[in-house]
Amino acid sequence: MKNLTFENGDRMPIIGLGTWKSEPGQVKQAVYWAIESGYRHLDCAAVYQNEKEVGEGIAQAINEGLVEREELFVTSKLWNNSHKYEDVKPALEKTLSDLGLDYVDLYLIHWPISFKRGIGFAKTRDEFYTYLDVPLTQTWEGMQHLKSLGLAKHIGVSNFNQAKLREVMNIGGQKPEMNQVEMHPYLPQKALVQFCRENGILMTAYSPLGSPDSRNESHKNDPVLLKDPVIELIAKKHGASIGQVLIAWSVARDIAVIPKSTNQGRIKENLAAAKLKLDQNDLMELDDIGVDFRFINGKFFTGPESPYKLSDLFG
């Protein structure tokens, strides 16, 4: 399988298993099946509230001799309530304890949004910090400290726009090594991809299948990426599934991709997308797909009680 390579030569498999919205009671098995199927890249986060189970799946696979820890690439993320310098290290230590690991391969600031300590999801104005209270530079200094201690081999960000990336890059020292954002043919993020390439920042695509499990009442009119006729035709042409075409699209762009599944057959099918080679015609059709849509719109962070605007996220 193709890998992405960090500046120090460390490699990250381009396809990983996402664990966002993986149900408790299912994610341990999903992680085990993924490792058994050949996945070596696992994407986690403290806020997903399932890292203990992810760790159990990893431990089972290691104990049964399926894999060595050094063969795995494990990503986790710093939640919004631990952005103060002194809170960054304890947050990662909790994640490491839950995962049963001594280090993570990659640690990301999950969102450029800050909550007060102990707040899971800020709802009122007094539960938020502003950029004046806790500048992103303070959080990034905490991240750099983690890397110097060896608790995180690589550090980066998630959901950062160009302005926020510049802000942390201007501190000096270690620049972000990764930016993980929503990406699929309806949201190709061309300008952000170009900026990251020019600055040596690798990228990971989340919700590559369009977040199909988010179709609640408020999302009932969202377009359905997995039913797009253009992608359907490309899938038929290659004898592949629509999901495989969407994963192969990211691989063709040299962008890591983390489809989530707890279904054993789907987990294997997603990894098999590594073998699907889209041709120039396929890529042109996906480029001209004619739909522009962001599934994870960030409005849950920018309501009337919040000091943040959508431009802080996606501007």
Binding residues for substrate are: 110
| DSSP string for residues in 267-301 | HHHHHHGGG----HHHHHHHHT------SS--GGG
For the residues of 125-188, what is the DSSP string, one character each? GGGEE-TTTS-HHHHHHHHHHHHHHTSEEEEEEES--HHHHHHHHTT-SSPPSEEEEE-BTTB-
Reference 250, options 109, 76, 41; nearest CA is 41
Pairing of strands 178-182, 202-206: parallel
Q: Which of 32, 39, 48, 129 is catalytic?
A: 48
Task: Answer yes or no: 48 catalytic.
Answer: yes
As a whole number of angstroms, the distance between CA 281 and CA 67 comes to 38
Tokens linked to 83: 């952005």
Catalytic residues: 48
